[in-house]
Structure 1
C-alpha cells in the first residue's frame, strides 16, 4: 500500500499558465495591449500629480515618468513572455548584455549626457517652452530626454543639443524671471541739450504700452563718442511682452527725437587737403 509520501507529482512549470499555444499567444498580445494602455494612464496620472500637486518642474517630471514607463513596460513584456513559456531569466540576461554592448561603444559620452540631463532637470536650469541660449544656440525648449535637449529656433528650425554640451557651457534663460529690462542706446549730436534728449526718451517710454512705471524708466549718460553723445534708456516690462514693447519703444523714441528737432548724428570723417 502506497502512502501519501510515496506519491510523486510531475514537475510543474510555473510560467505555463495555459497549455494551448494559440491561447498563449492571444493572452500575450492582450497583456501587451492592456499593459501599454495601463502604463500610459498611470504615467499621465503621475506626471499630472507631480506638476500640479507636488509642483515638480515639468522637465524633471518628464525624466521621472520616462523612467517609470521604461520599468513598467519591461514588466509588461516579461509577463507577456511568461504566457509564451519563455525563460524569463535568459531574456533578462540577454537584454542586459545587449544594453552593455551598446553602451560600450560610447560609454563616456552616454554617461556624460545622462548625468548632465539629471543635473539640468534637478537644477531647474530651464523648462519646456522657456526661451534659452544653450551652447550658443538661441531658441525655445520644445522637448528634453535623458540624452539631449530639443530647441525650436526663431526661423522654425529644429536643433538637438546633447545634454553634456548644454551643461558644460553657460545657459541663458530669459523666461525664468517675470520682468525684463529693455536697454536702448541712442545717440544725439554734441550741440543737443542733454536735458531735451533725456526728456524725449522718457516721453517715448511713457507712450509705449507695457512699460512699467515702477520702477520708472530712466536715462544714463554713457559716453562722449567720436561724433556723438551716447545715452542709454532703461525701462522694465513683463517678460512675455518684451519683444513687442522693445520694438515699440525704439520706434516711439525715434519719432520723439525727430519731433523735438534733435539731430541724430551718423559717422562722418573730415578730410583736409594740403595745397602744397
Structure 2
C-alpha cells in the first residue's frame, strides 16, 4: 500500500511522489553541501595572502556556480531533459545579448577585474564615479560604499572599473594642506616662521618629508599662505583640524592679522569739501573697515 502511494503520479506533472521526494532530498543536500564546501574554501583561502576583497568575491562567485549546479541536478532528478534546458538557456542568453542587455555580463567581468587587480580594497576610503565612501563589499554585480554619514551606495561594477578611482587611504602617508591669509601690513617672514614652527613641533606631523609654508597668492585683501605637512593617513583629519586651530591661535598671539575682505573705493567728480562731508556722513558699519 505504501509502495503504491509513493509511486502514485502527481496530476498534471507526470512526476511520482517518490521521485519528488528524492528530488527534494537532492536539493536540500545540495544546498547543505554547497554551504559546507564554501565554508571550507573560505577558511582555506584566508590562510593565504589573498586580500579579503578577493576572497569575498570568489566566495560569492562559487556560491552562484553551486546554485546553478544544484538547480540542474534538481531538475534532472525530476526527469526533466536538462540538456534541452541548457540549450534553451543558451538561446535566451544569446537573445538577451542581442537585445542589448549585456550589462549583467559586463558587470560580472568588471567585478572579476576589480577583485583581481584590486584598485580598491575592503575598508579603504575611495571616490568612485563621483561617490565617496568606505568600501564595504565588491559583489558579483556591484560594489557597495558606506558614506561618512552612514548612507549605503551601490555602484554597478562596470562603472567602478570603467571610471577613474581615487583611493584616499591606500598610501601610508598623506599631505595635509591648510590655507590662511595675512594682511599686507603684517610681517610676512615672521608669519612664515610661526607657521613652520607650528608644524615642526606638532607630534603627529612627520619631519620627513619636511613641512613647508608656501606663498600661494597675492589676493585683493591678503597674502595667502599654505601650510603643507605630511602625516600618517589615519591622522589626516586630526592634523588638519589641529593646524587650522593652531595657526589662528598663534597668529592672534603674535599680532599677525588675518584680514577680512577689503575694497578700495575711489570717488571721482566731487569737490574736496563735498568729499570731506561725504566721508563724515558715510561711515563703515560695525566690524567693517573701509580704506578710501
The answer to whether the superposition gives a TM-score over 0.5 is: yes
Greater shift, 252-261 or 170-179, is seen at: 252-261
- Tell me, yes or no, if structure 1 residue 154 matches structure 2 residue 148: yes
> Secondary structure at 1:118's aligned position in 2?
helix
Specify which of 26, 29, 36 is matched with residue 34 of structure 1: 29
Shift in Å, 1:233: 1.1
1:59 aligns with 2:45: no
**1:93 alignment counterpart:** 87
TM-score between the two structures when normalised by the length of structure 1: 0.81
RMSD: 2.6
Deviations 1:223-251 (A, max 9, x none): 32222222221111221222222212211
CA distance in 1, matches of 2:203, 2:24: 60
Unaligned runs of 5+ in 1: 1-17
Retained in 2: the 8 A contact 1:135–1:170? yes
Max radius of gyration: which structure?
2
Q: Deviations over 1:96-129 (max 9, x none)?
A: 3444444444334344333333332332111122
The question of 1:46 aligning with 2:25 is answered no
Match of 2:112 in 1: 118
Partner of 1:43, secondary structure, is helix
Give, in whole Å, the separation in 2 of the partners of 1:198 and 1:153. Answer: 37
SS at 1:107 equivalent: coil
**Shift in Å, 1:131:** 0.8
**Which position in structure 2 is the counterpart of 1:186?**
180
**CA distance, structure 2, for counterparts of residue 216 and residue 45 of structure 1:** 49
Which structure has more relative contact order (CA 8 Å, sep 6+)? It is 1
Alignment of 1:162-173 (within 5 A): 162-173=156-167
Do residues 261 (structure 1) and 255 (structure 2) align? yes
Counterparts in 2 of 1:259 and 1:58: CA distance versus 1, 3 Å: same
